[in-house]
A and B are shown apart, each in its own frame.
Chain A
């Protein structure tokens, strides 16, 4: 059953078509990767799905309901939560505070209750706290929970970014280049982590450059080039697809599965 559906998504910037009628569906519980050469429109597509950008045409549906056109925070509240490239975290908070503040759904106390520290609000805070501790431990950040984010090493920040997204109760997590700039060892750990996220029942849609990791981790892959979808299939199908090989061989520094 299709869970998140992208239908004819198009984004034009003046005369430039960054994303051109892209359609695909993500099934519940799978890991689907969108790949493509540099400048293929991956990032734009990603922003369109998260509603951080309005499409020129087409729409995005979650469980059959249109979510494109909603404001980003509303899309996040439907369970479509994105991460950012690199190290986008709340730098002046501790790791734990980063994740606690991201727990925004399912509070029983309203703003007034929170202001007066009502018993319900305190119970909410405790739940956010426990939830954050659990996520940090699960992602292997438990030992740095009280460090200020700006003092954390680079690799940890990316994981923290994912922890933040997980605290926002995602049903589908959009990961923006989670393996970019990692050495093979770090990539291995990150791949394990993404699989761990899926084991928690969260569907994963990732946009990625690193073919090696994508081939290992994905159930299915969507390939885009110059804004259009050129292929869709299992990693094995994609690896042998002549159109994909051609699109990638056009690049200097990209070969499939190297």
Chain B
């Protein structure tokens, strides 16, 4: 990982809490809290797009965590759906506040992630990817056939979170959620646990041989990812005020993964850059929406060919180019 080379042999030891955390998060915080609201003031539509991107980024960050242990996870849509339905049902049927539903959705997704992940994570490579892909479809069918509140398995009239009334409010909530998620994953990646993840990604047998409980760490990473997916789904359901089995499909699961790829798997910021980049590009290219999939595909091929480590690897590549040119 590029981050590991940059760290030059220091695990955790040089990441003493607050000051470094501030440096890691401050630029993103300024961007999300100041720059974006300033530029988009009075444009609720675009603010909504950014809210959406922030929530999806939060879900992508989770997928990044499963990438960190060397698994291609195409199930995030399933957990977003699960979290969305948890919030939908808890808030409409039981009248629970969104602020309780949000963490509960994370917990439910993490529990289901643990149960499903324990057997599935033995699989590697394409096999794990394929099973997670079908998991998304299975989850859609599950809600389609079990939720009878409304035709087609939908839940409508989900209340908005208490205290959040305007698009700006919702944007600020999403931005906060994203910042907290970013800080959590950044800390995880920089801690001993993150290094254990890296070791597993590079060689599971060797990791076992030095006493790492690979099975348990794998499940932890997957549950962590699922919790983030669940919370993203819960937030989105509350933003849209409805959820349907088709709110998250296989395409969404694949997109979560693509966002990570595009931004760069070596960087915690990768999934955020990838998500915002693609979502904004999506919106700007709305007029040619029928070619969206084609453009996505072409873009991915280009990135894989020329920037296999994602957009965020560009500075170091340019740096090398600059140095060798002199």
Contacts and interface: CB of A to CB of B under 8 A. Distances in A.
Contact of A122 (B16, B205, B211): B16
Interface string B149-173: 0000000000000000000000000
B203 interface: yes
In this complex, which of B9, B10, B11, B198 has the most chain A Cβ atoms within 10 angstroms of its Cβ?
Answer: B9
A121 interface: yes
Contacts of A90: 198-199, 202-203, 206
Interface stretch (A19-27, A100-108, A188-196): A100-108
Given A100-B195, A117-B191, A124-B192, A84 B4 contact: no
B11 A165 contact: no
Interface stretch (A54-62, A75-83, A204-212): A75-83
Contact of A92 (B13, B202, B210): B202
A83 B206 CA distance: 8
A82 B208 CA distance: 10
A168 B9 contact: no
Interface in A143-174: 145-146, 148, 164-165, 167-168
B17 A164 contact: no
B11 A111 contact: no
B5 A94 contact: yes
Interface string A107-123: 10001001111000110
Given A92-B198, A94-B5, A100-B9, A105 B191 contact: no
Contacts of B211: 73-74, 76-77, 81, 104-105, 168
A122 B214 contact: no
Given A124-B192, A168-B209, A168-B210, A101 B198 contact: yes
Interface in A19-74: 50, 52, 71-74
B209 A91 contact: no
Nearest to A174: B209
Contacts of A115: 187-188, 191, 193
B4 A97 contact: yes
Contacts of B284: none
Interface residues of A, number: 47
B103 interface: no
A121 B12 contact: yes
Interface in B1-33: 1, 4-5, 7-13, 15-17
Given A94-B5, A94-B9, A117 B17 contact: yes
Contact of A93 (B4, B212, B214, B215): B4
A64 B4 CA distance: 41
A122 B9 contact: no
In this complex, which of B5, B8, B210 has the most chain A Cβ atoms within 10 angstroms of its Cβ?
Answer: B210
Contact of A146 (B9, B203, B210): B9
B316 to A, nearest CB: 14
Contacts of B12: 114, 117, 121-122, 124-125
A50 B208 CA distance: 10
A144 to B, nearest CB: 11
Contacts of A124: 12, 192
A101 B196 contact: yes
A92 B192 contact: no
A114 to B, nearest CB: 4
A115 B183 CA distance: 11
A97 B7 CA distance: 9
Contacts of B203: 88-91
Contact of B206 (A71, A84, A105, A125): A84
A148 to B, nearest CB: 6
B43 interface: no
A125 B198 contact: no
Contacts of B213: 71, 73
B208 A72 contact: yes
A81 B198 contact: no
B9 A96 contact: yes
Contacts of B4: 92-94, 97
B210 A165 contact: yes
B9 A145 contact: yes
B193 A122 contact: no
Given A52-B208, A129-B10, 10 more contacts: A76-B208, A90-B206, A95-B9, A101-B11, A116-B17, A117-B12, A121-B12, A125-B13, A126-B13, A165-B210
22 contacts: A52-B205, A71-B213, A76-B210, A81-B210, A83-B209, A90-B198, A92-B202, A93-B199, A94-B8, A97-B11, A102-B199, A107-B192, A111-B193, A115-B188, A115-B191, A115-B193, A116-B187, A117-B12, A117-B16, A117-B17, A122-B16, A124-B12
What 7 pairs between A and B have smallest CB-CB spacing? A96-B9, A125-B12, A76-B211, A168-B210, A125-B13, A102-B210, A72-B208
